[in-house]
Structure 1
Amino acid sequence: MAIIDLNSDVGESFGNWKMGDDAAIFRSVSSANVACGFHAGDPSTIAQTCRDAVAGGVTIGAHVGYRDLAGFGRRFLDCTPTELADDVLYQMGALQALAQAAGAQIRYVKPHGALYNTIVHHEAQAQAVVDAVRAFGGDLPLLLLPGSVALAKAEAAGVRGVAEAFADRAYNPDGTLVSRREPGAVIHDADTVVGNMVRLAQTGKITAIDGSTITVEAESICVHGDTPGSVAMAAAVRAGLESAGVTVRSFA
């Protein structure tokens, strides 16, 4: 029987600025990528998100990013490897404290936004993220894009690398994500998304933006919590997977 994880980016509200509906999306996903305060999230938001995740039986992961609240972590920062490693470690420690207060632990790490995309190819920053995860300890897996430099570096360092796919994002024929600056980068049609994800879970194949079929190795599927209609989309993906005989379960 096929088994796959469903994850979502959560805890991204900040003060009076609200982003997503975390408690609702926890009814569908098995893993929560909780913002750690650098790209989004404030302590009270993060703490409540952890409590909601625990109540929903959802695994908590650290969604670490560049120190870029104004840009929502979607802008590249040319920081030194040491600075980046320290920033990542700091974020993991902050989330661990709030998760622990809610009765849980962080179980994995997923980079956010520009950092996630940068360490697909940036050797030094990829190594910095891996070094931070190793320094934290606890044998935490790293959730990354298939074929990324960071995934290779994680495996070389003895850190478990977990490859993921994106339910609501379009893919280029080479397996990379279509830039958000391009039309069609985000898929809003639920039937298309569900069909793609069921096919992925069952066969490891997905349809790229040009209509070609590509192979995507993934243990987890991300449904973005900040996409309009994300709660309904996550519910549709989970229902579609389970109807096709796929078990939804956290990789961690």
Structure 2
Amino acid sequence: MANWIDLNADLGEGTGNDSAMMRYITSANIACGGHAGDETTMRQSIELALENNVAIGAHPGFEDKENFGRIPLELSSAEWRDQITRQLELFDGVARSTGAKIQYVKLHGAMANMTAADRNLANVAYEAVKSFRSNMMILTIANSHQGAAAKALGLENVEEAFADRAYTDEGLLASRSLAGAVLSQEKQVIEHITRLLSDAKVRTITGNVIGLNAKSICLHGDNEHAVALAKSINETVKSLGLDVKSFANKN
């Protein structure tokens, strides 16, 4: 069992939970204006991250605020690259104005799901990231095409698991449309996290147990119980004898 784990959360999305969530996480995936956010929210989230020694990650998604970036879009490779590059450049400008730097990239929503399932799309997305910065770290979905694509491009990647999501027998995230795909009870989430961190295993949506390795756990911050659950997860990690620290903070 590793002696540390990163806790990441999607922030800058207008939930109002950012400040409270920062107390319990170590990496912040900040919306870059595509699926959510603008220069003001980016600056607010970056400044909160700096105050709390939380790593700053860019969180680009499809430029579709109406659907929060959760609807798959049929785009050309050039359009994929343009959307990702545009958001990274905007976010980078805001970060630099605060004296900060983008430390990693994590894709959002449908963009993340599509690249997890399709190696060609993952290649396109991470080629855009590499063109923006050749040594950018990538936070990828465990057991997906994202990790393989990042490695092939020579980008350092760290794999994540999800605190509140069930997995298929193949080790992929179960579709939200399936009953039981989202773990809604704190007891379920804590059992899931404890098994993952203690044994590197998860119980699948069909009841089987499979192996799953991850160095980061994603906590969702977009519901009314998010902050309380983040506190419980943070405490659970520490009770297992693990340090809570970011994969991206080198100091």
TM-score scaled by structure 2? 0.94
Correspondence 1:1-252 to 2 at 5 A: 2-13=3-14, 19-137=15-133, 139-252=135-248
Letter in 2 for 1:151: G
Letter in 2 for 1:68: D
Contact 1:2–1:202 (Cα < 8 Å) also in 2: no
How much does 1:201 deviate? 1.9
Deviations 1:137-172 (A, max 9, x none): 151111111222221111011011211100011112
Of residues 97-106 and 38-47 in structure 1, the stretch that sits farther from structure 2 once superposed is 97-106
Aligned residues: 247
Aligned CA RMSD, in angstroms, stands at: 1.4
Letter in 2 for 1:123: R
Distance verdict in 2 for CA 1:20–1:181, change over 3 Å: farther
**Structure 2 alignment gaps of length 5 or more:** none
SS of residue in 1 equivalent to 2:222: coil
Distance in 2, Cα, partners of 1:221 & 1:27: 15
SS of residue in 2 equivalent to 1:77: coil
1:16 paired residue number: none
Deviations 1:227-248 (A, max 9, x none): 3311111110000010110111
Contact 2:144–2:172 (Cα < 8 Å) also in 1: no
Distance in 2, Cα, partners of 1:220 & 1:96: 23
How much does 1:182 deviate? 2.2
Contact 1:81–1:124 (Cα < 8 Å) also in 2: no
SS of residue in 2 equivalent to 1:106: coil
Contact 2:134–2:155 (Cα < 8 Å) also in 1: no
Contact 1:238–1:248 (Cα < 8 Å) also in 2: yes
Distance in 1, Cα, partners of 2:121 & 2:134: 21
Distance in 2, Cα, partners of 1:208 & 1:147: 14
Which aligned segments of 4 or more residues in structure 1 are displaced greater than 4 angstroms?
A: none
Distance in 2, Cα, partners of 1:180 & 1:217: 22
TM-score scaled by structure 1? 0.94
Contact 1:3–1:201 (Cα < 8 Å) also in 2: no
Distance in 2, Cα, partners of 1:170 & 1:228: 20
How much does 1:36 deviate? 0.4
Of residues 182-191 and 3-12 in structure 1, the stretch that sits farther from structure 2 once superposed is 182-191
Of residues 177-186 and 109-118 in structure 1, the stretch that sits farther from structure 2 once superposed is 177-186
SS of residue in 2 equivalent to 1:111: coil
Deviations 1:55-79 (A, max 9, x none): 1110010111111111100011111
Distance in 1, Cα, partners of 2:62 & 2:24: 28
Letter in 1 for 2:6: D
SS of residue in 2 equivalent to 1:184: coil
Letter in 2 for 1:7: N
Distance in 2, Cα, partners of 1:138 & 1:60: 17
Distance verdict in 2 for CA 1:32–1:143, change over 3 Å: same
Letter in 2 for 1:204: A
